Amino acid sequence: MSDVATRLEVLKTYKLYVGGKFPRSESGRVYEVTDSKGQWLANAPLGTRKDARDAVVAARKAVKGWAGTTAYNRGQVLYRVAEMLQGRREQFAAEVALSEGIGPKKAAALVDAAIDRWVWYAGWTDKVAQIAGGANPVAGPYFNLSTPEPTGVVGIVAPQAGYGHSLLGLVSVIAPAIATGNTVVVAAAADAPLPALSLGEVLATSDVPGGVVNIISGRTADIAPTLASHQDVNALDLAGAIAEDGPGAAPALEAAAADTLKRVIRPELDPFARDWTDAPGTDRLLSFLETKTVWHPMGI
């Protein structure tokens, strides 16, 4: 008889990330996540409409505090996320490799790009006002100033699995929204939710206040319509929505959003064709900002 006991592997329990906490799904159910070859990877919580509504409540509660934080401090918080993600680089590289069926070197490069993306947006937090606002020429003895303000709660349909989508694509839609003071509720990619759920752990151990980012895994067709029709969601980023008809598809989500006059970023015609390694630009930074114009008499 061998003196060496066989050690059982400690399997990771993935949970939702809502309000800075890690609740189990309201349904109490999970679904199997598999790799590119159909092999089991983990059980992910099967989020429900109720989970999505709870996440919107958490996001709304966090808006005032996060939007009121100075742009400089928001930049420090985003940079801290990059630091924490860097410390878990190997874990994320393994999850991306398994989720997307790519080699370890490519996966590591994508994780590095995601870290750099956090740093890039961190640098924009105190600069975006310079390109989104300014002093306006007017006739009369007045100063007329335009300043950008966050839209509020943004619902995000995360990019679906594909080269660079599960982590880099996810970061590329979350970071610009929160950099400008918004809070977000994210419907994680149904077929590759593990990097998104692990990102929640990074956010929780960074300085991101609870409720600023909320991540729900499950069926997009269940979660996304709730975000699109919810009256307390101010905008939608449909990066991962498909163009064809059906629940959770872009046309149905846009129609639902129209009832509450949401601002919407439409998806690519082919969501899988988007190369998230490209330079991000400022489009998403500016998409979820409102402009406030202030008139002030001169000499007073």
- Residue 181 near residue 170, CB atoms below 8 Å: no
Which pLDDT band, with edges at 50, 70 and 90, does 195 fall under?
very high
pLDDT > 70? residue 167: yes
pLDDT digits 0-9 by tens, 69-86: 999 999 999 999 999 999
Beta-carbon contacts of 180 under 8 Å, excluding residues fewer than 6 positions away, are 125, 128, 148, 150, 285, 288, 289
pLDDT digits 0-9 by tens, 145-162: 888 999 999 999 999 866
Closest CA to 164 of 269, 274, 89: 274
pLDDT > 90? residue 293: no
Which pLDDT band, with edges at 50, 70 and 90, does 244 fall under?
low
Q: What percent of the chain has pLDDT over 90?
A: 69
Give the model's pLDDT for residue 38.
87
Give the model's pLDDT for residue 162.
66
Q: pTM value?
A: 0.91
18 vs 2, more confident: 18
Q: How many CB atoms lie within 10 A of CB 186?
A: 29
pLDDT > 90? residue 275: no
Mean pLDDT of 263-278: 78
Tell me the DSSP string of 242-298: -SSSSTTSHHHHHHHHHTTT-EEEPPPSSGGG--TTS---SHHHHHTEEEEEEEEET
Q: Pairing state of beta strands 235-237 and 153-157?
A: parallel
Mean pLDDT of the chain: 91
Maximum mean pLDDT: which of 126-140, 169-183, 279-293:
169-183
pLDDT digits 0-9 by tens, 204-229: 999 999 999 999 999 999 999 999 99
> Residue 206, SS3?
coil
pLDDT > 60? residue 1: no
Give the model's pLDDT for residue 160.
81
Give the model's pLDDT for residue 113.
96
Which pLDDT band, with edges at 50, 70 and 90, does 53 fall under?
very high
CATH architecture of 30-297: 3-Layer(aba) Sandwich (3.40)
Give the model's pLDDT for residue 268.
72
> Residue 130, SS3?
helix
Give the model's pLDDT for residue 164.
61
Give the model's pLDDT for residue 151.
96
Give the model's pLDDT for residue 223.
95
Mean pLDDT of 1-6: 62
pLDDT digits 0-9 by tens, 110-139: 999 999 999 999 999 999 988 888 787 888
Give the model's pLDDT for residue 178.
98
Tokens of 283: 């489009």
Mean pLDDT of 173-202: 96
Which pLDDT band, with edges at 50, 70 and 90, does 177 fall under?
very high
